[in-house]
Chain A
Amino acid sequence: MGKLNEKIIVAGFGGQGVLLLGKLLSYTAMYSDKNVSWIPSYGPEMRGGTANCNVVISDEPVGSPIVTEPNVLIALNRPSLEKFEQILEEGSLLIYNSSIIEVEPKWNNGKVISLAASDIANELGNPRLTNMVAAGAYVKASGVFTIQELIDAVPHVISKRFHNLIPLNIEAIEKGAAAVS
């Protein structure tokens, strides 16, 4: 296995929890003693309902925290898929939320995972779990961490008043991981 250098874009609608998903991956990386950076989009691109964040997880010190040449895309809605699949490197990992993205990705130059993230979240009773389903799927598909390492980081990114929902978040992560063969 080569040196770890995950250049991740997580993107979706505002409210789908893309920033939190990025944070969860970042905390997991920090507790696994990896170099990591997280940066949200905070410029004009966040107007108009889409949100994204960039996460870099690396064995080396992180160079640019801003990802211009991603090798991982987690797209939770269609505009995000169509915008960022254009800049994916060859051999990348693409996970897209097939529950609400009704088109196939045009990009087919690496590993493509169709994940019914919103459906799985709805089955668990809360569409806001979509991000956790996607996190579980990403970790399973990439093998960057163990699912247990991801689960251990959950309490660090969920504010205390929602800690009663931790078991449900963990269930969503496990369902997301199980959806990846």
Chain B
Amino acid sequence: MTEKVMMKGNEAIGEAAILAGCLTYFGYPITPQSELPAYLARRLLKMENGIFLQAESEVAAINMVYGAAGTGKRVMTSSSSPGISLKTEGISYIASSQLPCVIVNIVRGGPGLGNIAPAQSDYFQATKGGGHGDYRLIVLAPASVQEMADFTMLGFDLADEYRNPVMIMGDGALGQMMEPVVLKKPEIKKYNHDWVTDGAKGRGQNLICSIYLDPAEMEKYVHEIYAKYKIIEENEVRYEEYLCDDADYLIVSYGITSRIVRTSIDLARKKGIKVGLLRPITVWPFPTKVISEYADKVKKVMAVELSMGQMVEDVRLAVNGKVPVEFFGRTAGVLPSCNEVLAEIEKLV
């Protein structure tokens, strides 16, 4: 498939995973991401090496991912907000064990059971750990159906490169909407797999676990993982800039919200307001450095997101008091219109 096709975001993730060599999926259905397991069930069960399993629960599914990741195979699971909460214990184990996998969260309105509409209120959960203990996920935030596909492929590469779980953080709108998408089979690098537990035939034993009863030993191990996170922070920060060069005001916004902000910026520019958009593509590692640099040039910074104010905390840390940081958010499944965001931009002036 190298021509443009119309696809739902959820389905584009599924096809991209297969193209990236992920033929193993464990999950449990939940709206608004169920088209993804449905798509993979249709495709994987027809493939000789395909494994698709609908587990009895989210907890079971993530632990199946844990096991499969230990064999070095590319493996994926997906869910939406409450389901991801159930998976966080397993995600912590996977991160601690330094295993590669891709976890998709098609975020919905919350907290609690909430609703099935688009939201970004799982930002803290995705970027600050979510589960227990000191760990990080690499978190990619697509803003289009094309990026849902592209970042899935990128996610598998990053997971293998750093032996770390990667999260694709979408939302209900990106999952449900169709847009034109081009799906190209990527080249897949050979990664070092001398750590896998796939039967010790002809070699010594490998052990994958996350238990270190001796605190001193565990602390040393956590420091090793954090040395890896430091490299990820140096190498893997991704973001996009829109009309930032001459901006007096900088908006920081990601995912579906950044598209609405972009339209609002076009409207504001027509009114003579010099405003630009910085869109984090990796929300962890966060584009702290570039935002800090813009804070030396602009008059104000505003974070716009679908929550009561989560990413704004990272923006404030980056700006570090140099200029005022404003916030505008809608939450619980409500999306702002471009005119609403425009009104907030006008208030900055």
Residues of A within 8 A of B (CB): 23, 26-27, 30, 36-40, 42-44, 60-66, 68-69
Contacts and interface: CB of A to CB of B under 8 A. Distances in A.
A23 B179 CA distance: 10
Contacts of B116: 42-43
Please provide the 9 A-B residue pairs with the shortest distance between their CB atoms, ordered closest to farther: A63-B263, A39-B177, A38-B178, A64-B260, A68-B337, A30-B180, A65-B177, A63-B259, A37-B179
B178 A26 contact: yes
B176 interface: yes
B339 interface: yes
Given A39-B177, A65-B173, 19 more contacts: A23-B178, A37-B177, A38-B6, A38-B178, A40-B176, A42-B32, A43-B116, A43-B333, A44-B115, A62-B179, A63-B259, A63-B260, A64-B263, A65-B177, A66-B173, A66-B335, A68-B335, A68-B337, A69-B337
Contacts of B6: 23, 26-27, 30, 38
Nearest to A44: B115
Contacts of A68: 335, 337
Contact of A30 (B4, B115, B338): B4
Nearest to B333: A43
Interface of B: 4, 6, 31-32, 115-118, 172-173, 176-180, 256, 259-260, 262-264, 266, 333, 335, 337-339
A174 B305 CA distance: 45
A151 B286 CA distance: 47
Nearest to A27: B6
B178 A64 contact: no
A62 B258 CA distance: 11
Contacts of B176: 39-40, 42
A64 B335 contact: yes
B178 A37 contact: yes
A57 to B, nearest CB: 12
Contacts of A64: 256, 259-260, 263, 335, 337-338
B111 to A, nearest CB: 18
A61 to B, nearest CB: 7
B93 to A, nearest CB: 33
A32 to B, nearest CB: 11
A64 B335 CA distance: 9
Contacts of A60: 263, 266
A44 B109 CA distance: 13
Contacts of B335: 64, 66, 68
Contacts of B118: 66
Contacts of A39: 173, 176-178
A147 to B, nearest CB: 20
Contacts of B333: 43
A61 B178 contact: no
A66 B173 CA distance: 8
A37 to B, nearest CB: 5
Contacts of A43: 115-117, 333
A63 B262 contact: yes
